[in-house]
Chains A and B, each alone.
Chain A
């Protein structure tokens, strides 16, 4: 259930497996990146962020990796649970702009 490198609009994984969701961002000047989770009928919810002076950041069960060379961001979810089923968006902020530009979402489905 893992996919590295390529952005996929949908990803289906077995409960307990690890998930990797990929995102390509557009602007090499972007210096702050955020992953959001959006459940059906709800607004996006912050998961984890990373600044451009880092290449990895870990949270609880989630890790974000940043590769500035190829402008690529990934979100790794360990031991995926049914409650992780949602649409995941990456967002990039440009310096001093304060605005987030959202990438295409990935719909994660966790099979029991």
Chain B
């Protein structure tokens, strides 16, 4: 029973062509996160939502945006993908802020051609 679902699992986009990755959760968790992960490196947090409150990391490029229209769904928009944006994008949720583990989706592997 998938709890954090990411679609698509693989996405190919062209250089400069906007792309949207989606994430949904069945856990009713308050917090949703987007991470970028390259080549077995540590996941790097891009931003997170605490309920409707958006929290951007200081070093997240403006090229990356996010939307959370409701509790269950969260989207990652890459406005003008560059070759350096090719990576695995991981969505995660946690019950609340504080001492709670995160539940990760399977990730979307983005290729930029």
Contact = CB atoms under 8 A, between A and B. Distances in A.
A98 interface: yes
Given A98-B31, A98-B50, A100-B102, A44 B97 contact: no
Interface string B85-113: 00000101010111111111111000000
Interface of A: 31-32, 34, 36, 41-46, 49, 51, 87, 89, 93, 96-105, 107
B2 to A, nearest CB: 11
Contacts of B48: 98-99
A48 to B, nearest CB: 9
Interface in B53-109: 55, 90, 92, 94, 96-107
B15 to A, nearest CB: 25
Report the interface size class on chain B: 20 to 34
B43 interface: yes
A66 to B, nearest CB: 14
A32 B90 CA distance: 21
A18 B27 CA distance: 34
Nearest to B98: A98
Q: Which 10 A-B pairs give the minimum distances between C-beta atoms? A: A98-B97, A43-B104, A102-B42, A32-B99, A46-B101, A44-B104, A43-B107, A102-B43, A43-B106, A43-B90
Contacts of B97: 96-98
Given A43-B105, A96-B98, 18 more contacts: A32-B99, A36-B104, A41-B106, A43-B4, A43-B90, A43-B107, A44-B43, A51-B99, A97-B97, A98-B31, A98-B96, A99-B33, A99-B45, A100-B45, A104-B41, A104-B42, A105-B40, A107-B40
Given A34-B101, A96-B97, A42 B106 contact: yes
A101 B59 CA distance: 14
Nearest to A33: B99
A44 B43 CA distance: 9
Given A44-B90, A98-B98, A99-B48, A89 B106 contact: no
A36 B90 CA distance: 14
Contacts of B104: 36, 43-45
